[in-house]
Amino acid sequence: MQKISLAPVDGVQITTLMDNSSDALLPDEGLVRRWGLVGTAAPLAVLPAELAEEKQTFDFLRAEHGFSAMVEVGGHRILFDTGISAEGVMSNLDRLAIRPETFETIVFSHGHFDHVMGLNGLSARLGPTHLPVFLHPDFWLRRRLVLPDRTLDFPTPSRSAIEGAGFTIIEERQPSFLLDDAILVTGEVDRTTPFETGMPPAHQAFRDGAWEPDRAVHDDQAIVLHVRDRGLVILTGCGHSGIINIIRYAKRLTGVDRLYAVLGGLHLQYGPIVTETVAALAEEAPAMLVPAHCTSWQAQQALAAALPGAFRPNSVGSRFEL
């Protein structure tokens, strides 16, 4: 594999706009600024409240089963995924006093609805826009989950509707760069580990006129940055590629062997894959580990025990200043 040159940056800020957890009592910790009653990331928003003496109350950030993050580098803002509901990410942006028109690019980790459908709210707020949207060609696949008692059809992103809203679609299977080679979008990740086997066979995609198992979710991609003198920062949406696959692929692509931080969804549920992934992550020894969306309680506990110095819980509104 030919190495690519990822320009080092002096720093990056990653803010969680949507995740499965919202905790207003988490304190600041080192390079992490929290939003809430004790954190210092941003002032608390307020709501009218007729039954309060002050006629107002505090308004906290919303959580949902989805993921979204803002990446800030050198004064530029990238939106990574958009959550599931039209109002979720948009309402949190309002509470955080972040103007959506300041985003320069959107990157989608993959086409699952809990990472994509919040684009409805962004589109309604922005109106017609030429905002570029980076994604993998498999992003558009129809998908479903075949359960023992029912079949659950996933909402499918509409190319015509997204383009009709004015967004500019940029499809890439291969790695691509943003911000003058400062941000790497991995494209399709090589699968090399024996234990990261992807989704169960019940997860299916519609290809060439027929439904077939879609264990790999080939459109799963991550964002990678190289913080000068610190190492690689990797941000995932769901991590269907397998976080160890993603880390090793990023290292091979960039030639940077040092790992600074891993943030985002790890798609770790239960069973042997948790044990093997945790052991491999401990060998990679990131300075910061922030498991988020689609990481089970069991996996969270195992990661915290194996990497106590690196582990940081995620919460909506957390800002990681790397």
Closest Cα partner for 122 from 142, 141, 102, 139? 102
Question: For position 307, what pLDDT does the model report?
Answer: 98
pLDDT digits (tens, 9 = 90+) for 172-206: 999 999 998 999 999 999 999 999 999 999 999 99
Sign of CA dihedral 207, 265, 6, 2: negative
Its pTM stands at: 0.96
Question: For position 2, what pLDDT does the model report?
Answer: 66
- Token pair of 157 as six digits: 């992103």
3-state class (DSSP) for residue 68: strand
Set out the domains of the chain in order of their start, with CATH numbers.
Answer: 8-321 (3.60.15.10)
pLDDT digits (tens, 9 = 90+) for 117-175: 999 999 999 998 889 999 999 999 999 999 999 999 999 999 999 999 999 999 999 99
Three-state SS across 128-185?
A: CCCCEEEECHHHHCCEEEECCCCEEECCCCCHHHHHHCCCEEEECCCCEEECCCCEEE
Low-confidence ranges of the chain (pLDDT < 70): 1-2
How far apart, in whole angstroms, are the C-alpha atoms of residue 203 and residue 215? 7
Residue whose tokens read 């919303």: 62
